[in-house]
Each structure stands twice: as C-alpha cells, then as structure tokens.
C-alpha cells in the first residue's frame, strides 16, 4: 500500500478544465499528447498491430463521441478522457511498490516506472480507465499533466502548459490551479457549473468538465438554470458510464 501525501498548506491543485460545449472531437489533443510524451520524459508510448486489423497502443488521452438526445434535441457530445489527478486516488493507495504516487506540492499523480512491476492493480482501481499498460516495457503509464512542460524553466513562460491544452484548436482545454479560487480555471468552473465525473465514488478528481450549454441541449423554456445544469450533469455521467463500460 502507498500513502497519499499529507495536505500541505498553500499547495497547488494543478489540473485541466475541459469544455464539453466547445470540444469538437478532433483528436488533436490526443495526437499532440502522444507526440510530446513519446519524445519527452515518459519515453516511447508503444503502438501494437499498427497496420493490422486491430491497431492499439498506449494513449494518455482518448476521445469518446456520442449522440445525445437529452431534452429532445440531438447533438454530438465529445468526451476527452485522461487522468483526473484525483485527491483521493485509489490508484495510489493500492500500489504495492510505491511506484504510483501523488505529489504533495501540486497534486499531480505520477508513476515511477523504475519500481513499477506492472501488476495492474492501479488500472483496476481507477474508475476512469486512465491507466495504460505498456506491454513492451511491462510497466504502467498515464497522463503526467505534462510535468516536463509546465515546470520546465527552459521553455518560455507562455509554453509552460500541457501539450494538449496548447494544441486544442477550439480552446476547449484549460490548465491551471484549482486550489486558487481566483484562477482562470476556478472561475470557469464556478461560472459554468463545472462537474466532477462519477463524483459519487468519492475519488475527488481535480480535473473538471464544463457541461454543454443549455442552449445546445434544450431542457425546456421555463426550467430553472440550476435544474437544467443538474440534468446536463446527469447526462454526462450517463455518457461516461457508457464509455467506461466498453
Ligand atoms: S502496475 Fe505499477 S504503478 Fe500500478 S499498482 Fe502495480 S506497481 Fe503500482
Ligand atoms: S496533460 Fe499532457 S500527458 Fe496529460 S493528457 Fe494532456 S498532453 Fe497528455
Ligand atoms: S483538441 Fe480540443 S476540440 Fe479537439 S478533441 Fe481535444 S479537446 Fe476536443
């Protein structure tokens, strides 16, 4: 068993806020993530059966697209999915070697591949399917929140953000400190009614999702905004449930 870090006063909670209203499902973030991490600290993210009938590989970020008919209107909802850097991360506490850990200073969940034995306990514990086994190296891998970009003092300040955020053509991805109520990401969550995925499980994910706007999924002309937001949140959870059940 591996312990989660003690709460440090003033510590950051770095994470992503993803806008499901403006994500167009283009996969640019997923490709950019794979390219950056293959060439960076994480090392090569392998592909299997590249040109065969069932190509697969290690991807830290995957996009799921659905047709939604919530409120009687049809639209496509795209759900990017990567590690949510949870506060109560069971993927950390189940790890028998200490390879899976959460940083006290900024909340990023990482894997030390030097001591990972590839036992898969963490991937079974993660309800979001965010961990990917590297079958060639025999170790687990996952989103690093681009730790080698965001804290990289060799990069200009403007480039110290995750590759997926920098790439997104519709600006649907936002990066920042969710422990700071005044940060841009915290303000976005507040203004748009950002939600936790599968909140009832109690993992307390740091990443948040901004629901599609009410105009995009009509819920009735006289419905109160709070009720409408909660209906959209429930729809999101149903979409996620379908995604993770596959
Ligand atoms: S696969 Fe690696 S990181 Fe995951 S629980 Fe096992 S040893 Fe820990
Ligand atoms: S933060 Fe970095 S590692 Fe995580 S999904 Fe985005 S590009 Fe990939
Ligand atoms: S790059 Fe942006 S718009 Fe494209 S799938 Fe990713 S989050 Fe959505």
User: What pLDDT, on the 0 to 100 scale, is given for residue 67?
Assistant: 85
Ligand 2 mean position to 93 CA, how many Å?
22
DSSP code of residue 195: B
Ligand 2 mean position to 64 CA, how many Å?
16
Q: Which ligand is nearest to the CA of 27?
A: 3
- Is 31 a pocket residue for ligand 3 (Cβ < 6 Å)? no
Q: Which ligand is nearest to the CA of 82?
A: 2
Cβ–Cβ < 8 Å for 143, 130: yes
User: What pLDDT, on the 0 to 100 scale, is given for residue 245?
Assistant: 56
C-alpha to C-alpha distance for 124 and 72, rounded to whole angstroms: 36
Ligand 1 mean position to 211 CA, how many Å?
33
User: What pLDDT, on the 0 to 100 scale, is given for residue 225?
Assistant: 42
Nearest alpha carbon, ligand 3 atom 4: 26
The 3-state DSSP class for residue 45 equals coil
**Has residue 227 got a pLDDT over 80?**
no
Instruction: Give the percent of the chain with pLDDT over 90.
Output: 76
User: What pLDDT, on the 0 to 100 scale, is given for residue 224?
Assistant: 42
C-alpha to C-alpha distance for 11 and 232, rounded to whole angstroms: 32
User: What pLDDT, on the 0 to 100 scale, is given for residue 43?
Assistant: 82
- Is 82 a pocket residue for ligand 2 (Cβ < 6 Å)? yes
DSSP code of residue 53: S
Nearest alpha carbon, ligand 2 atom 3: 143
Nearest alpha carbon, ligand 2 atom 1: 145
pLDDT in tens, 124-162: 999 999 999 999 999 999 999 999 999 999 999 999 999
Structure confidence at residue 88 as a pLDDT band (50, 70, 90): very high
C-alpha to C-alpha distance for 32 and 169, rounded to whole angstroms: 12
**Has residue 73 got a pLDDT over 80?**
no
The 3-state DSSP class for residue 208 equals strand
pLDDT (mean) for 14-33: 97
C-alpha to C-alpha distance for 216 and 214, rounded to whole angstroms: 5
For every residue of 116-152, DSSP letters joined together read -----HHHHH-TT---EEETTTTEEE---TTHHHHT-
pLDDT (mean) for 79-105: 97
Ligand 1 mean position to 113 CA, how many Å?
9
**Has residue 165 got a pLDDT over 80?**
yes
User: What pLDDT, on the 0 to 100 scale, is given for residue 81?
Assistant: 96
- Is 166 a pocket residue for ligand 3 (Cβ < 6 Å)? no
Between CA 29 and CA 36, with CA 33 as vertex, the angle to 5 degrees is 135
**Has residue 90 got a pLDDT over 70?**
yes
User: What pLDDT, on the 0 to 100 scale, is given for residue 244?
Assistant: 60
- Is 92 a pocket residue for ligand 1 (Cβ < 6 Å)? no
Instruction: Give the percent of the chain with pLDDT over 70.
Output: 86
Q: Which ligand is nearest to the CA of 100?
A: 1
Q: What is the mean pLDDT of the chain?
A: 89
Ligand 2 mean position to 142 CA, how many Å?
9
Nearest alpha carbon, ligand 3 atom 6: 29
Nearest alpha carbon, ligand 3 atom 2: 168
Q: Which ligand is nearest to the CA of 110?
A: 1
């Amino acid at each position: 068993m591996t312990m989660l870090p003690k709460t440090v006063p003033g510590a950051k909670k770095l994470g992503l806020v993803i806008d499901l209203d403006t994500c167009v499902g283009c996969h640019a973030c997923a490709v950019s993530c794979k390219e950056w991490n293959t060439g960076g600290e994480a090392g090569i993210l392998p592909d299997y059966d590249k040109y065969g009938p069932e190509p697969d590989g290690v991807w830290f970020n995957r996009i799921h697209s659905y047709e939604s008919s919530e409120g009687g209107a049809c639209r496509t909802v795209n759900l990017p999915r990567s590690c949510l850097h949870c506060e109560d991360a069971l993927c950390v506490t189940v790890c028998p070697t200490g390879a899976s850990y959460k940083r006290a200073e900024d909340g990023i969940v990482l894997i030390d591949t030097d001591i990972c034995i590839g036992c898969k306990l963490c991937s079974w514990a993660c309800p979001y399917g965010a961990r990917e086994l590297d079958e060639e190296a025999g170790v687990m891998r996952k989103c690093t929140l681009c730790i080698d970009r965001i804290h990289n003092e060799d990069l200009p300040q403007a480039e110290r953000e995750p590759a997926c955020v920098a790439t997104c053509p519709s600006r649907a991805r936002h990066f920042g400190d969710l422990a700071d109520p005044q940060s841009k990401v915290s303000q976005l969550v507040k203004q748009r009614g950002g939600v936790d995925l599968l909140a009832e499980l109690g993992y307390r994910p740091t990443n948040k999702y901004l629901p599609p706007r009410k105009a995009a999924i009509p819920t009735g002309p006289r419905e109160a905004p709070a009720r409408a937001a909660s209906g959209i949140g429930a729809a999101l959870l149903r979409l996620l449930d379908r995604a993770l059940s596959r």
